[in-house]
């Protein structure tokens, strides 16, 4: 009887630099955890992994977090087994000594499924260039990786891109979610369906004070669940500026709850619990899209205002209703934007219909981790070079 062939297991090095927020690390951790869940082994190299203490406190079997700034860790990796796949997240320039070691072990093959693979994982965008550049090769002519070929891998919203990160069990988890029980476990005294729940994960939007004032003066009770960090500081500053916005129900229809830092799984649950979600950056936008509920995105601001075109491209890609476009223009302080609209029932109904359609369309394309494994040869023969 012929012996069964052993299941394929790849070994990845993922490199991540933390700039000034948690998005890059959040994306890289999700990718590492999903690859490990598929049977691969991952080393996540990060220059500042402190946020993982609350983002992923339980860690993940198959994922080793390595301090990129530790010379001893780099030296040990250079002496050890060479990974099968190297992921450079967001142009972060991987450790030169490890790139050199990777190049020395690289065979001649450069096509998908052959030899070792170097992937340049790019930022998420709906702009047209993403489809043109996705999976394109980029030969390396100088430096420790000379002779290798990088390949661009772009997340995206169409079948001509690498898709979005999505765990296989995500929809099952959401289907079994109990909103009332979760809120009670957080110590939030929710007043039932008559009280609209809104999550806030933002930077410092100039429109925030006006939005808080609108909710406080509104006809329907609103409970705002504010995430830790910059969002909390922004809301407290707005309350101080407005004076009369107490956030405890005594100063109008608005109640405010301040949350601690949430693990990634609990952040998903926060989004599931709310009727409207304000998110920022890349990682939380994707999580909000999978919820299928109304969401408002504060895009990461860039000095040259390149984020304006990026935001408009995304609004076009999701065929956003006019009222949602107006909300995003005001929330992101786009040129010519009017005052921030306070979402009413009619707006939220239109946004809900749009969100459901976008989610169903995105579910038709394979998730990013699955596409990435297929591109680098996840169904090929294991090179056997990784340590077991």
Q: How far apart are CA 16 and CA 90, in angstroms?
A: 8
Contact 148, 118 (CB under 8 A): yes
**Residue 48 known to be catalytic:** no
Report the relative pairing of strands 63-67 and 85-89 from DSSP bridges.
unpaired
CB 295 within 8 A of CB 277: yes
> Is 194 marked active-site?
no
Distances (CA, A) of 20 to 24, 65, 169, 230, 267: 9, 19, 30, 11, 19
Work out the end-to-end distance of the chain between its first and last CA atoms, rounded to an integer number of angstroms: 26
12, HSE (Cβ side, Cα atoms, 13 Å): 32
Give the strand pairing for 149-153 and 222-226.
unpaired
Whether 224 contacts 257, CB under 8 Å: yes
Per the residue annotation, which of 40, 268, 269, 282 is the catalytic one?
282
What is the DSSP annotation of 31-59? Answer: HHHHHHHTT-EEEEEES--TTHHHHSTT-
Q: Is the dihedral of CA 61, 62, 67, 68 positive or negative?
A: negative
- Report the distance separating Cα 160 and Cα 9, nearest Å: 27
- Please tell me which residue in 24, 88, 122, 268 is annotated as part of the active site: 24
The CB density around residue 228, as the number of other CB atoms within 10 Å, is: 14
Angle between helices 345-362 and 283-291 (to 10 degrees): 100
Secondary structure (3-state) at 5: coil
Strands of the sheet containing 276-280, edge to edge, are 254-258, 222-226, 196-200, 276-280, 295-298
CA–CA gap between residue 374 and residue 198 (Å, rounded): 38
Q: Which of 33-72 are b and which e, b meaning 16 or more Cβ less than 10 Å from the residue's Cβ?
A: bbbbbbebbbbbbbeebebbeebbeeebebbebbebeeee
The residues annotated with a catalytic role in the active site are 24, 282
């Amino acid at each position: 009887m012929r012996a069964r062939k052993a299941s394929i297991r790849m070994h990845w090095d993922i490199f991540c630099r933390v700039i000034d927020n948690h998005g890059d690390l959040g994306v890289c951790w999700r990718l590492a955890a999903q690859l490990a869940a598929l049977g691969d082994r991952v080393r996540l190299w990060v220059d500042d992994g402190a946020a993982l203490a609350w983002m992923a406190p339980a860690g993940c079997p198959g994922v080793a977090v390595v301090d990129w700034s530790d010379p001893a860790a780099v030296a040990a990796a250079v002496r050890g087994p060479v990974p099968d796949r190297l992921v450079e997240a967001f142009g972060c320039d991987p450790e030169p000594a490890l790139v050199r070691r990777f190049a020395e072990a690289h065979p001649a093959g450069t096509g998908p499924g052959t030899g070792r693979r170097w992937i340049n994982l790019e930022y998420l965008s709906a702009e047209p260039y993403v489809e043109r550049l996705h999976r394109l090769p980029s030969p390396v002519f100088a430096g420790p990786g000379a002779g290798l070929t990088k390949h661009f891998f772009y997340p995206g919203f169409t079948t001509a891109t690498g898709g979005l990160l999505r765990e296989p069990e995500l929809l099952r988890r959401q289907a079994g979610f109990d909103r009332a029980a979760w809120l009670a476990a957080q110590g939030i005294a929710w007043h039932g369906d008559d009280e609209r729940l809104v999550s806030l994960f933002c930077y410092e939007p100039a429109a925030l004070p006006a939005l808080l004032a609108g909710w406080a003066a509104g006809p329907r009770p609103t409970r705002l669940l504010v995430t830790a960090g910059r969002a909390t500081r922004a809301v407290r500053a707005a309350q101080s500026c407005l004076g009369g916005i107490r956030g405890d129900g005594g100063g109008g229809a608005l109640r405010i709850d301040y949350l601690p830092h949430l693990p990634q799984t609990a952040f998903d649950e926060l989004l599931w619990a709310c009727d409207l979600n304000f998110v920022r950056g890349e990682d939380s936008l994707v999580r909000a899209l999978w919820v299928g509920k109304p969401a408002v995105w504060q895009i990461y601001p860039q000095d040259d205002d390149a984020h304006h075109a990026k935001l408009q491209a995304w609004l076009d890609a999701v065929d956003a209703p006019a009222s949602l476009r107006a909300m995003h223009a005001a929330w992101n302080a786009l040129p010519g934007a009017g005052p921030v609209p306070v979402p009413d029932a009619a707006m939220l109904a239109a946004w809900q219909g749009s969100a459901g359609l976008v989610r169903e369309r995105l579910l038709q394309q394979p998730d990013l981790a699955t596409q990435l494994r297929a591109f680098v040869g996840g169904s090929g023969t294991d090179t056997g070079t990784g340590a077991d």
